[in-house]
């Protein structure tokens, strides 16, 4: 019985580690927000619509760091948090 408990604990620990590592890059799906545009207010002052965000960050023609998710909507909802 003790071996089964040890195996179960090991499996749960491994699952926890894999979950944390796997979900870290996809935090937006879990309600965690991306980097805030508030870190660069002088550049993003005029950004009030998603289309303005994608104008600079679309992967096809990036003027800034390209977004990995250009078809998502709600750029400012996710990236306009207070820092």
DSSP state of 47: -
- Is 70 exceeded by the pLDDT of residue 2? no
Supply 2's token pair: 């003790």
Count Cβ atoms below 10 Å from residue 54 Cβ, excluding itself. 19
pLDDT in tens, 32-45: 667 888 888 898 88
**40 and 80 assigned to the same domain:** yes
Q: Indicate if 39 and 78 belong to the same structural domain.
A: yes
Same domain assignment for residues 26 and 2: yes
Task: Identify the domain containing residue 69 by its residue range.
Answer: 33-83
42 lies in the same domain as 70: yes
| Side-chain half-sphere CA neighbours of 29 within 13 A | 6
User: Tokens standing for 12?
Assistant: 């749960």
- The structural domain count of the chain equals 2
Same domain, 41 and 63: yes
pTM beyond 0.85: the answer is no
Helix (H, G, I), strand (E, B) or coil at 28: helix
What Rg do the C-alpha atoms of the chain give, in angstroms?
A: 19
């Amino acid at each position: 019985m003790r071996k089964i408990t040890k195996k179960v604990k090991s499996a749960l620990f491994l699952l926890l580690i894999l979950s944390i590592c796997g979900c870290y890059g996809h935090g937006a799906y879990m309600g965690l927000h991306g980097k805030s545009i508030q870190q660069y207010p002088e550049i993003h002052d005029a950004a009030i619509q998603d289309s303005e965000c994608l104008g600079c960050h679309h992967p096809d023609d990036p003027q800034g760091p390209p977004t990995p998710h250009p078809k998502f909507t709600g750029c400012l909802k996710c990236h306009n948090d207070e820092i």
